[in-house]
Structure 1
Amino acid sequence: MALKVSGGGGGAEPAMSTARIVDVRDRYEIDSGKPLPEFDSQPAVAYSCSHKRDSKRSLYALVCDPKLPPRFDVVSVLRRIDHRNLIRALDWDVVDWPPEGRRCPVVILERPVGKRVMASLETMTAPMQEERVTRHFIEPICQILREMHALGTHHRMIRPDNLFWMNDEQREILIGECFSAPAGVTSPIVYETLECSLASAAGRGEGGPENDLYAVGVTILALLTGQSPLIGKSDDEIIRLKLNVGSYAAMVQNHRVSLTMMEPLRGLLNDHPDERWTVEELSLWLNGRRLSPKQQAMPTKGSRALTIAGMDLTTSREIAHVMHRNWDQAIVLVNSGALDTWLRRSLGEDDRVEAVNLAKSIGNDNQDRLVARVLIALDPDGPIRLRDFSATLEGISSLIGAFADDAQARQLFGQVVSFGLVNFWLDQQRGMEPSHIRQMNRLDKVKPILNQTGLGFGMERVVYEMNGGLPCLSPLFERDFVATIEHLMPALERLCASDDRPQRLIDRHIAAFLGTNFKRAIGGELRDIDRAADEEEGRIAQVRILSNLQDALHRNVTFPHLCAFSAALLEPAVERFHSRERRKSVRSRLRKVAKSGRLKDLLDIIDDTQEVSKDQTAFDKACMDYAKSTRDLINLMHDINNKGRLAEELGGQLAGAAALLGCVATVALAGFATFF
């Protein structure tokens, strides 16, 4: 699963502004014809920006990649931090972006006067004196991180090419932005902790304070030496160096570092998170207290190497890394007993031997599950790995969010859950961290959802439940960007105004997005849609959900195009009325109220229970009248078709009646004669 950075997508274009000037919240103007490449933050691209009411303010805009959603929640947090050495983010929005022919997220920032401290991580610059590094970088970053971490957020983009000089005199450093892409996704491996380096870019997760402090240590070294550490080496070479000698030794190598700076570097680049310096310890060092960081304990090396894929390996962590990269060979290695032999005879670590035996105790019915458990046993501090899946515990959420529509990623995630790899990973940890508990609660919540196939559930729902800030990934919004639930209705309005109108208003992604973010109960409507999406019941349910959304979030906003489309969508539901006159009246009223832009008005007509009840009552009465008339007509036709037999029956009846009358008359006359 390779993470691809893309700025556009296919599909029909929504209505777009063709002007160069793009308005943002009626406060800022972005000039799409004036890029500022010196402020790019890949994959985000910088453009000139101005404030409508204060033209003297120096600003720029970052247009972010819709495929790598920005951390908008971090923008809100950073606006609460007022520090002169932090580039300020003023606002964000989603706008029509002419160069891409689609809607893109943008962030407005204050523009630094000076250039980048390091133009790129591939270039070299003059080494910076220790005193300047301490005063211009370590002191401000320490204060900024203390405030950020206290607010529950983390930078995750600390590196020398994301630092700017405050002015041309190069007297102060500005810390760059940290929200244009998901946490850790764009960071080079050298600036990521060992655990995150072993995971895929999308599977590193939000991280914690320890990730920021590690990056601070690498950046200090880069500023002191004038170059990014391990420049020119491949990612795999960097990882193997870290695994073999530790991050500090791998990066410092032959660079001359004074005893004064060696202290924070050893503390910040310690590969054991529990032993890595905290912000408080870095602050104590700044105040003159010498802490003598612990010497990092290196992993035990075997007395002889284990050869995998042509490489001689001597530590269990390195073996786990190479086995993951060569999965099919790993299966053979586990089943042949070669790994067990090396662990017992060469490594001599009873804990590792016991852990691997426990991993293999499930049997070998499923080879992938077996190897995944063995990798955890060999490297319990590493990520959870299963073929192309590699993520830290927190990174599981971000990984499945980045590959939500990738069939292979979905399958691997399902296997990670069903194989119980998370629980086995937790069993191998030395202790339970608060972040572990939070992630386990997320996973426990989505487990019953994963196997439900109904609309609003399944993998789509899991993706949004595990990634709170994820935009709606519906194919309907291929050229739009629905950052929050508040953006959903306006996006549907634009879609219905375009030439590429949808067949339905609620698909699986929209249903899952609503199920996660909309607080009102919509389960009944989703079941109606799932059962009969194209029938009248399902059509009404779609409009009812959006009507509730409009009532809850856009009470004073109208959506005429969406309303007109919904009226057409509800057209077949008019046939639920039996009366021809009533159907004609309902159809006419629907077309009329569609112009109001309020979906509730449509439902008041098409789903009026009293009107439906009256129509049904009249229909039932008409059916009874029709049945009675039909019976009478049948009887009449029967009589007409049997006139001869009817005449005989009638003649016999008349003759009988006449004879009876004659007898009665005779008796009456006889009695009368006798009386007189």
Structure 2
Amino acid sequence: MLEEQELNMNIQDNNHEYSKYPIKKSNIIDVLKEEYLICCLEFIPELSNIFCKAYKVKRNNSDNTNLYALVYTKSLPLRLSVIDNLKHNPINNIISPIDYGIVKISETNMEQFVVILEKPSIISLDEYSKEHGPFSAEFITDIILIPICQILQVLHSFGIVHGNINPKNIYIDTDNKKIVLGDCVNGNTGFAQNIIYESLERAECNPMITKGDGAEHTDYFALGVTCLYLFFGHDFNVTESDDLVNQRFMYGSYKIYTRGRSIAMSIRPLIKGLVNDDLETRWQFQEIMDWYNRKQLSVVDNEDIDSNHNIMFNNNYYPNLRSLAYNMHQNWEKAKAFLKEEVLLKWLEMNSKSQQVVKLEKLLKPKIYGTGTGDKDEIIIKALCILDQYAPIRLQDCAVSLDALGVLIAYALSEKANSYVDNIRRIINMSIWNEFTELDYTEEKARELLMHLSRAKYAINKPGIGFGVERCLYELNPNLPCQSPLIAEEYITSVYELLLCIEKKAEQSSTFVIDRHIAAFLAANLGMDQRLNYKDYNKVSKRFLDHDAITILIMMAIAQEKYKIYKLSNLSAIVVEMLLPLLEMVGNYKRRQALHNNLNNQIPRGDFIKLLNIIIDTSYLELDRKEMELAEQQLASINEQIKELHDEKQCYVKGYKLGLKLCAVLSYLSCAITFIILIITKF
């Protein structure tokens, strides 16, 4: 028998639990920690997006009217570590969370994650610029640039990228010219950021939620464009458009934004250093401070021209590889035909692009280099990566940063966007990850990212409960609450909470089931692999393996033991109900009924380990198997006899042989009788 301590509790270390960020739940509707009243009727549209809705907040015993709450959408991941970090380590002159928690919101009748912030009573830099701009180089440098750099230096030291630096999210006190940086927790990094302020590798992401966490240079590019906006004032005149990203790829962001207009020599090196499309030479904190302290710095020319000879694709000429790669992505099918030709390789050779030539030849000429051909789309993805090493993963209508796959799958499932789900599945199944983790990720971040992707790849193609796209969702979003529609009103972030919640649901409804989301959440948070990390897995009869009921039973047993919740009688009843169809595999009626009774007797105890013991005890199955084998042998023998009787030819042969034998016997008998009569007559 399996004892409780025999359960293999060697569950993998994982980041799925909220142990680092304990989140308190409020007992009062629309009130956080009995202190902050969320005014659901006072919606703030300008601070809201698909990740969260903003509402005004009233605080007990306070006249502060600038407080507001961000109420987050349950179906999308949030920047929990950033929220927690900024709450406990507030940074001067940046809007940081005052408090956070889980509150039941009256508008949705659901528990949701809430963050309390305070909007500054001063005006935005955008408003100030419209009244007083354009500004001098000295004003931009001393009042705007250096204070924001100092804020960013502290923020980046915590490993946080702001992602939303622009004039509308920077505030200025008109009296003392003090600068306050707006919040960075109202969605994933850069979601609310206008593409004008995004570097090219982020501006092309599609959909916009797939920009990823970004890096420090992301903030400095946005700061450079902000300085340019302040310098030109009303004449900045750059608007978001479908062609803006393409123009920036073609001619460089600096050239497109300045449009040939002169910039004061005192600030030109700064702008060129920041509004720089080359990640490796873009200025950051140290270069800015060196320039500010009048140190001589060289500035790389931003005009991204790879050669004096443009390359032609789709009847258009492109001056550099990045613009070519971008437009190949926009014309996916034509890119396939283009790569079959040798025009690109010849152009690269002619322009001394030896590194790209070698990589592309290995990719496009597998017979020569002994490399696999792979999927055609995968070849294009790798080719575009070779041409533009900074770009996101491009696949048909998707352009997604590797670390944003989790956000994309959450968005796709919540919006039922199946095309995105298909693209995610293909990207995860392709062997392209390492090529996209070499540049923008630290070694630790790359290792963590590859671990989650490996687990997602393992799970996404398996159809059984606890796997599939739902499991992939939780592997790539470790802090996402359980998305099961059966517990939609609850905000469940741990296995412990989930067990208590579904036990209560099972008590309220006899028809409650454990769906794929609940199973996937359990499996991901317990770090379970295909064998469920259960050392006595092989004791389970092979006739029961790969059945959802067994998978759920083992998960429940491990979870119950780990979290010390020993009486889950209502859940036990549900699992036993799921196990009943398996009992039909037991041929002997009395034995099947006895097994059924044993399982039912354990329901009041709510002990999944005891239930598992009954299933693991295979003695009844072994006896049933032997009886079944004997019965099958007897049946086979009878069937063979019946078959022979129905075969006319064999019946004739057997009858003929039997007749001969009978004739022989009769002949011998006649001879014997004749012999006896002769003897009697003679004597």
Q: TM-score, normalised by structure 1?
A: 0.71
Instruction: Give the letter for the 1:403 counterpart.
Output: A
1:76 shift after superposition: 0.8
Give the Cα–Cα distance (whole angstroms) in 2 for the partners of residues 352 and 205 of structure 1. 26
Matched, 1:152 2:152: no
The match for 1:333 among 338, 360, 368 is 338
Say whether the 8 Å CA contact 1:30–1:49 is kept in structure 2: yes
The match for 1:246 among 239, 242, 252 is 252
Residue in structure 2 matched with residue 468 of structure 1 by the alignment: 478
Residue in structure 2 matched with residue 674 of structure 1 by the alignment: none
Say whether the 8 Å CA contact 1:133–1:223 is kept in structure 2: yes
Give the Cα–Cα distance (whole angstroms) in 2 for the partners of residues 243 and 38 of structure 1. 31
Give the Cα–Cα distance (whole angstroms) in 2 for the partners of residues 71 and 97 of structure 1. 20
The match for 1:362 among 366, 370, 382 is 366
Structure of greater relative contact order (alpha carbons < 8 Å, 6+ residues apart): 2
1:401 shift after superposition: 4.8
1:556-612 deviations in Å (ceiling 9; x for gaps) = xx9xxx96566566578899999999999998996xx7xxxxxxx5328975979x9
Q: How does 1:3-14 map to 2 (within 5 A)?
A: none
1:497 shift after superposition: 8.2
Residue in structure 2 matched with residue 377 of structure 1 by the alignment: 386
SS in 2 for 1:61: strand
Deviates more, 1:53-62 or 1:367-376: 53-62
Instruction: Give the letter for the 2:54 counterpart.
Output: A
1:280-309 deviations in Å (ceiling 9; x for gaps) = 33234445545343334623145245141x
Residue in structure 1 matched with residue 280 of structure 2 by the alignment: 274
1:243 shift after superposition: 1.5
Instruction: Give the letter for the 2:327 counterpart.
Output: V
Residue in structure 1 matched with residue 323 of structure 2 by the alignment: 318
1:65 shift after superposition: 3.0
Say whether the 8 Å CA contact 2:36–2:57 is kept in structure 1: yes
Deviates more, 1:322-331 or 1:185-194: 185-194
1:37 shift after superposition: 3.9
Give the Cα–Cα distance (whole angstroms) in 1 for the partners of residues 259 and 94 of structure 2. 31
Give the Cα–Cα distance (whole angstroms) in 1 for the partners of residues 48 and 441 of structure 2. 41
Larger radius of gyration: 1
Matched, 1:504 2:513: yes
Say whether the 8 Å CA contact 1:163–1:176 is kept in structure 2: yes
Post-superposition, which runs of at least 4 consecutive aligned residues in structure 1 deviate over 6 A? 429-434, 525-530, 571-590
Give the Cα–Cα distance (whole angstroms) in 2 for the partners of residues 368 and 251 of structure 1. 34
Distance 1:293 1:434, change over 3 A: farther
1:442-463 deviations in Å (ceiling 9; x for gaps) = 4455554455554434444344
Paired residues in the alignment total 574
Matched, 1:551 2:555: no
Matched, 1:69 2:77: yes
Residue in structure 2 matched with residue 303 of structure 1 by the alignment: 309
SS in 1 for 2:365: helix
Give the Cα–Cα distance (whole angstroms) in 1 for the partners of residues 105 and 148 of structure 2. 34
1:178 shift after superposition: 1.0
SS in 2 for 1:178: coil
Matched, 1:31 2:39: yes
Give the Cα–Cα distance (whole angstroms) in 2 for the partners of residues 76 and 432 of structure 1. 21
Residue in structure 2 matched with residue 261 of structure 1 by the alignment: 267
Unaligned runs of 5+ in 1: 1-16, 594-600, 617-676
Residue in structure 2 matched with residue 6 of structure 1 by the alignment: none
The match for 2:171 among 161, 164, 174 is 164
Give the Cα–Cα distance (whole angstroms) in 2 for the partners of residues 491 and 120 of structure 1. 51
Residue in structure 2 matched with residue 224 of structure 1 by the alignment: 231
Q: Cα RMSD (Å) of the superposition?
A: 4.7
Matched, 1:111 2:119: yes
Say whether the 8 Å CA contact 1:355–1:378 is kept in structure 2: no
Say whether the 8 Å CA contact 1:525–1:542 is kept in structure 2: no
Give the Cα–Cα distance (whole angstroms) in 2 for the partners of residues 26 and 315 of structure 1. 59
1:146 shift after superposition: 1.5
Say whether the 8 Å CA contact 1:218–1:269 is kept in structure 2: yes
Instruction: Give the letter for the 2:140 counterpart.
Output: V
Residue in structure 2 matched with residue 50 of structure 1 by the alignment: 58
Q: TM-score, normalised by structure 2?
A: 0.70
Unaligned runs of 5+ in 2: 1-25, 368-372, 584-589, 621-683
Give the Cα–Cα distance (whole angstroms) in 2 for the partners of residues 76 and 431 of structure 1. 22
* Percent pairwise identity: 24
Residue in structure 1 matched with residue 466 of structure 2 by the alignment: 456
Give the Cα–Cα distance (whole angstroms) in 1 for the partners of residues 447 and 591 of structure 2. 58
SS in 2 for 1:174: strand
Distance 1:186 1:526, change over 3 A: farther
SS in 2 for 1:30: strand
Say whether the 8 Å CA contact 2:460–2:472 is kept in structure 1: yes
Instruction: Give the letter for the 1:164 counterpart.
Output: Y
Q: How does 1:65-214 map to 2 (within 5 A)?
A: 65-118=73-126, 126-165=133-172, 169=175, 171-200=177-206, 201-214=208-221
Matched, 1:291 2:302: no
Give the Cα–Cα distance (whole angstroms) in 1 for the partners of residues 561 and 127 of structure 2. 51
Say whether the 8 Å CA contact 1:94–1:106 is kept in structure 2: yes
